[in-house]
Structure 1
Amino acid sequence: MWSNYYHGSNIYPNIYGTYQYPTCPKQPYYDYNTSYPQDTTDYWNRQRPIRGQATWTTGGQVTKCGIPWSKNEFMTVAVSENSPYKCGQTLKIRNLTSPGQREIIVTIVDTVAGYPANKINLHRNAFMALGANPSMGVINVEIIPSPELEKEKWGKYLLEVIGTAYPSYQVTDFHFIRKTHVSPTQTKETYEYIVHSGQDNIRIQGNVVYNPNTDRVISIDFKEMEHFERYDNLYF
């Protein structure tokens, strides 16, 4: 068991990236002549998990969101222009095609013209992290919005820090633990994450201390709580 600690008074949370790119033609995507189930607008608006399909891409230098495909170790995705999801939003994707239904958390970095609302285009690394062989081309998935993480911006900030600290692992789940008001100028928030690589899964607890008046990060620390071989949603 070990821990990492970051400290600084002038660190600002960079949640959605500050990348500026000139406009250029859209990057090519892999397309497949298959049919996809459609969902009603009301169903989307309730932000419930929906089923659809996923293809993959190697991405490109320019995205419509101004966020690079390399963000969070390429755990990124493009969504339909007709979907309700927004640039920088976090989604959980579950692979329904393979046994075990592996899950990953991805960030929206681009959009795709012509895709139905429940079809997504994952970066190749994210597609493979779901246990899918790129030769499959398309897989059935469940798309799960992450309103808890979207609501907790510091949880999303920690997600990016942990993703950088564990480059060979994918973050597969998260959970808000508590918020503590340490003083008028210090607030502490605690989160737990599950990261996965091969047969190894690690539960990590992270803390971020920030000034609620200025939104400046004061300190970040996280530590491994346990290793386990089998991922189980019951952990949360």
Structure 2
Amino acid sequence: MSARVLLLMEIGAGPLPAVTPVQVRHASWVPAVHVAAEIAQLVVAVAPVANGVVLTWPSSLHSAAVYVIEQGETADGPWTEIARTSSPRYTFNSTGTGPWHFRLHTNVRGRVGPETLVEGSPALSPTEESLEELQRQLEEERVKRFQEDAENAAKAASDLLNLALLQEQALQAERAARELAVAAAVIRLDAIDDDAIISPGEKPQLITDVQAIHDIYPRLRQQMELAELDVEELDDAYNGLISYLAELNSPVPWNDTSGNTHIT
């Protein structure tokens, strides 16, 4: 702050007062020059519609923004202003086929932003040839899907048939193994029946055979039910065997290896 010069004039008796120096005071603020925010370039999207195009872009951050749209005969102009709008959207209508060239920029209170150049053409109406081509493509796609479905169905049927054959082979192998086991058991029973005595030496194998029958009976019965076979004879044979073995207890039970058991 600069010092002020005071001019004192004598208006009475006595000496003039001394000049009092001005005291400098420092402010707590600093003035700043306002700088307006930059105007961003518009990012314009062009969407074709019937007989025209729709231009859209993100809204400016400036509240007083006005968007200026110009149309040119070519990408290099000359340009003619066709609209000013505050909306970030403009629909251009024309009976022509395009392409049309546009130049857009943002105007904020006389300040002009960078320009954006775009071009667009209207959405084409389908012709009879294009509709026929579309129909042909749809028919080809339908036939292709039908063939794929048929092939998948045939493969699934083949896989199911192979699985059924494998299961049948497994059942036949298991049935053959059971028949061999039964034949061997019959031979052993015939040997036991010859002397009407189950000796301690014959009992371990007999115990093993009876346990095998216990183990296989539920599975065999289930398989017969799945095959829709009559399980009545199987049940009668199994229950008859259990009842018969329960009677073989003289002088010791049939599964007691400490002595002989008489067959009644």
TM range (shorter): under 0.3
Give the structure with the higher percent helix: 2
Give TM-score scaled by structure 2 length.
0.19
Give TM-score scaled by structure 1 length.
0.21
Structure with the bigger RCO (C-alpha within 8 Å, sep 6+) is: 1
Give the structure with the higher percent strand: 1
